[in-house]
């Protein structure tokens, strides 16, 4: 493990150059209950051997979440690139699209949904305006305020990217039955919800 890295990082590093959309491949041999065995199993086994004084079971969940996040990020980047978008551009455009007609939000609302600073959001709105994906308009409720509105071009671009992204994500989840996907979504929600509540 590299200096300064964590056990979870050690389990992730081999995925950094993976092809977008590529799924985690299982190594040969049975898993703990006779199922597939993956790289995290190898990492956990090694840590259990080297540090028997520690409970490393969190790695069995969170290292897999971290590895999956890397694969998803690569898949998202590849999809967005095909539509001429960067990830942050999709995030802003999709927030406006989800708002519903007339697809307008205040810069403050966009901050809340995309978790960036005010200065960063101003810069992103400027760049999206230059590309013709959004436009600024005066707020009817605040003469000093503005609203950001999705243009027809922006809507077309984000709609196409979303459709392709969902196809890619279905591929990533193809190994799970519908009921397993629902169960996994419930379990992940219970972990993520406390963070979203802050």
Q: Indicate the number of domains in the chain.
A: 2
Token pair listed for 54: 């520690």
DSSP 151: -
Q: Is the pLDDT of residue 3 over 70?
A: no
pLDDT of residue 20: 38
Do 53 and 76 lie in one domain? The reply is: yes
What span, in angstroms and rounded, lies between the C-alpha atoms of 36 and 44? 15
Secondary structure element (H or E) that encloses residue 110, with its range? helix 107-114
Do 71 and 93 lie in one domain? The reply is: no
Do 66 and 95 lie in one domain? The reply is: no
Nearest to 13 by CA among 82, 61, 63, 55: 63
In a domain, 135, yes or no: yes
Q: Of 62 and 8, which is predicted with more confidence?
A: 62
Q: Of 185 and 145, which is predicted with more confidence?
A: 185
pLDDT of residue 1: 45
Average pLDDT over residues 4-27: 44
Do 95 and 55 lie in one domain? The reply is: no
What span, in angstroms and rounded, lies between the C-alpha atoms of 130 and 109? 21
In a domain, 27, yes or no: no
Average pLDDT over residues 148-166: 98
pLDDT of residue 85: 97
Do 52 and 110 lie in one domain? The reply is: no
Do 52 and 98 lie in one domain? The reply is: no
Do 146 and 104 lie in one domain? The reply is: yes
**Structural domain that includes position 104:** 87-159
In a domain, 72, yes or no: yes
Do 99 and 46 lie in one domain? The reply is: no
CATH number, domain of 147, equals 1.10.10.10
In a domain, 74, yes or no: yes
In a domain, 10, yes or no: no
Q: Is the pLDDT of residue 154 over 50?
A: yes
Report pLDDT digits (tens) over 32-74.
555 688 999 999 999 999 999 999 999 999 999 999 999 999 9
pLDDT of residue 196: 80
Report pLDDT digits (tens) over 93-151.
999 999 999 999 999 999 988 889 999 999 999 999 999 999 999 988 877 789 999 99
Secondary structure element (H or E) that encloses residue 146, with its range? strand 142-150
Average pLDDT over residues 85-96: 97
pLDDT of residue 148: 97
In a domain, 51, yes or no: yes
Nearest to 60 by CA among 35, 87, 32: 32
Q: Which of 16-20, 82-86, 178-182, 193-197 is the least confident region?
A: 16-20
pLDDT of residue 24: 38
Q: Is the pLDDT of residue 29 over 80?
A: no
Do 94 and 75 lie in one domain? The reply is: no
User: What predicted TM-score, i.e. pTM, was given to this entire model?
Assistant: 0.75
In a domain, 59, yes or no: yes
What span, in angstroms and rounded, lies between the C-alpha atoms of 12 and 2? 12
Do 38 and 101 lie in one domain? The reply is: no
């Amino acid at each position: 493990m590299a200096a300064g890295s964590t056990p979870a990082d050690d389990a992730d590093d081999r995925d950094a150059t993976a092809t977008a959309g590529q799924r985690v491949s299982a190594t040969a041999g049975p898993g703990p209950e006779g199922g597939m065995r993956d790289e995290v199993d190898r990492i956990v086994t090694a840590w259990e051997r080297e540090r028997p004084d520690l409970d490393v079971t969190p790695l069995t969940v969170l290292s897999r979440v971290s590895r999956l996040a890397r694969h998803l990020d690569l898949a998202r980047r590849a999809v967005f690139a095909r539509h001429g978008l960067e990830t942050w551009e999709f995030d802003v455009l999709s927030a406006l699209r989800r708002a519903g007609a007339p697809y307008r939000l205040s810069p403050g609302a966009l901050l809340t949904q995309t978790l960036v600073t005010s200065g960063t959001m101003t810069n992103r709105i400027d760049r999206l305006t230059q590309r013709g994906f959004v436009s600024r308009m005066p707020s009817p409720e605040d003469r000093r305020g503005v609203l950001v509105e999705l243009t027809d071009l922006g809507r077309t671009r984000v709609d196409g990217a979303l459709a392709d992204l969902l196809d890619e994500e279905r591929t990533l989840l193809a190994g799970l039955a519908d009921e397993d996907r629902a169960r996994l979504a419930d379990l992940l929600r219970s972990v993520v919800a406390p963070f979203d509540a802050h």
